[in-house]
Structure 1
């Protein structure tokens, strides 16, 4: 069974994007997979992490996309920050840029998702 961690808030501090999950996140045993997927059904992006050969999805909802845009523009590192844990989502900016290029004008992701992505991320590159 895949675990999904939902990001509820984001903030920029000290030239880093910090993502706050909706639950306690213990990041010590995870490996960043440096892969971003589109979840057009839930209007989100998914970053993959792995623990003991099982994937966990980090769900990045539309509500934090403007912060992802800032991270792209400024090339900020992105972290999940929970309590005293800080886990870097390695490669997320590069992967997101590639995915955004693929989504641009591509109806395979669904019109509503494509339009939202284009509206938010047009000014990021």
Structure 2
């Protein structure tokens, strides 16, 4: 099973969306890919290091912040204490997924409804 780091809160600060991670992000690089976890109702940004991939879980509670930043195309950063990492290609991947999820029962009716309600 892949390691998972959860996003616990979000804020728009200094003209960027800051996602607060539950644990250290030191040593990770952005993979520029987002997956969907329709059982946990989250988007999953992939981080990578020499050991492979780690899942950065972005739960439904954070989606309204993402929606607001999406409209402003604010850069997205993940932060843990003093470490920050820009999540490059975030919006491109997210918009592709959102457009694919809408009306697509393959993701599960509840996931589709949640995505459609916010995005």
* TM-score in terms of structure 1 length: 0.91
Q: Which residue of 1 aligns with 2:28?
A: 30
Matches within 5 A, 1:28-67: 29-67=27-65
Q: Give the gaps of 5 or more residues in structure 2.
A: none
Count of residues in Structure 1 that have an aligned counterpart in Structure 2 = 119
Q: Which residue of 1 aligns with 2:5?
A: 5
Contact 2:22 2:80 survives alignment (8 Å): no
**2-structure distance, mates of 1:31, 1:84:** 16
SS of aligned partner of 1:41? coil
Write the deviation string for residues 59-103 of structure 1: whole angstroms up to 9, x where unpaired.
Answer: 000000001111210001111111111111111111100100000
* TM-score in terms of structure 2 length: 0.96
Q: Give the gaps of 5 or more residues in structure 1.
A: none
Which one has a larger percent helix, Structure 1 or Structure 2? 1
Q: Which residue of 2 aligns with 1:114?
A: 112
Q: Which residue of 1 aligns with 2:20?
A: 20
Structure 1 runs (4+) deviating above 4 angstroms are none
C-alpha displacement of 1:26? 3.5
Cα RMSD between the aligned structures?
A: 1.0
